[in-house]
Amino acid sequence: MLRSLFEKRQQGTLTETVPGLTGPRVPRHSGAWGLLRRRLEAEENLHIIDTGYTSPANINFLTSLGHSVFLADLVYDAYTENWQSGTDEDGNPAWDVEAYLNHTLKPSERSYDIVLLWTALDYLPEPLVAPIVGRLYETVRPGGQVLAFFHTTTKGEDAMRLRFHLTPGDDVEMQLTQQFPIQRAFTNRSIERLFSAWSSHRQFLAKDSVSEVIITR
C-alpha cells in the first residue's frame, strides 16, 4: 500500500534501503499534528526536539514560528553507534543504555516543550525503549507534549520506516528514509503502560496502519 503510493509519484524503482531521504513526499492527514500545530502557532519561544532524520523543512517551519529546534535521530544513532557491550545472562546482546541516553538526550543540557517522536519507538531495540521514555520524562517540561506515531502492524510494506515533514496545514508529508528493522507494534494498552508516569495522552483515529498519540507531561 505505502510503496505503491510512493511509486505512483516517482519514475523508476525504489531501493529497499536508502540513505537519508529519497523520492517523493506523500501527504497524510494528521489530527495529532493539526492539534499540536495550533499550539505552536499560539505560543512563542518553545524548545522543540525532532527525533527523526534531519528535515530542513521542519527546521524552517518551526523556526519561522519563533521556536528553537534541536535534533536527535534516535533510531539511526541506536543502530550505527557501538552501544552493545557483550551479552547478558541469556545470551542476548547487552546494551550500554546510559551511554546511549547521554549521547542522544542529555538531561543536564536543556529541557523541551515539544518532542516530535514520530515512529522511533517502533524501531528502537527493546532495551532502549523504556529508558528513552524515562529520559524524555526527565527532559520534557511540565505541560510539554510528545507527538508519537505507532505502527499497528510489523508485516509488509506498511511497516516501512518513514520520515515525516511538517506542513502549515493538517497534513504531514511521508518520505522513505533509511530502513531499520521494525521491532514491535504497539496496542493502546501498551502505549498507556509505557507512558503511565505522564499526566495524560490523547489518541487519534487514523485510516492507515499508523496510529497517532499526543502525550502530555
26 vs 113: CA distance, rounded Å: 28
Q: Give pLDDT tens digits along the chain (217 positions).
A: 455 554 544 433 333 444 566 689 999 999 999 999 999 999 999 999 999 988 999 999 999 999 999 999 999 999 988 888 777 777 677 889 999 999 999 776 679 999 999 999 999 999 999 999 999 999 999 999 999 999 988 988 889 999 999 999 999 999 999 999 999 999 999 999 999 999 999 999 877 889 999 999 9
* Residue 4: per-residue pLDDT: 52
Q: Do residues 164 and 172 lie in contact, with contact meaning Cβ atoms separated by under 8 Å?
A: yes
Q: What is the set of domains in the chain, with CATH numbers? A: 2-216 (3.40.50.150)
C-alpha cell at 170: 493538517
86 vs 67: CA distance, rounded Å: 41
* Residue 108: per-residue pLDDT: 66
* Residue 16: per-residue pLDDT: 43
Q: What share of the chain is helix, strand, coil (3-state, %, to 5)?
A: 35, 30, 35
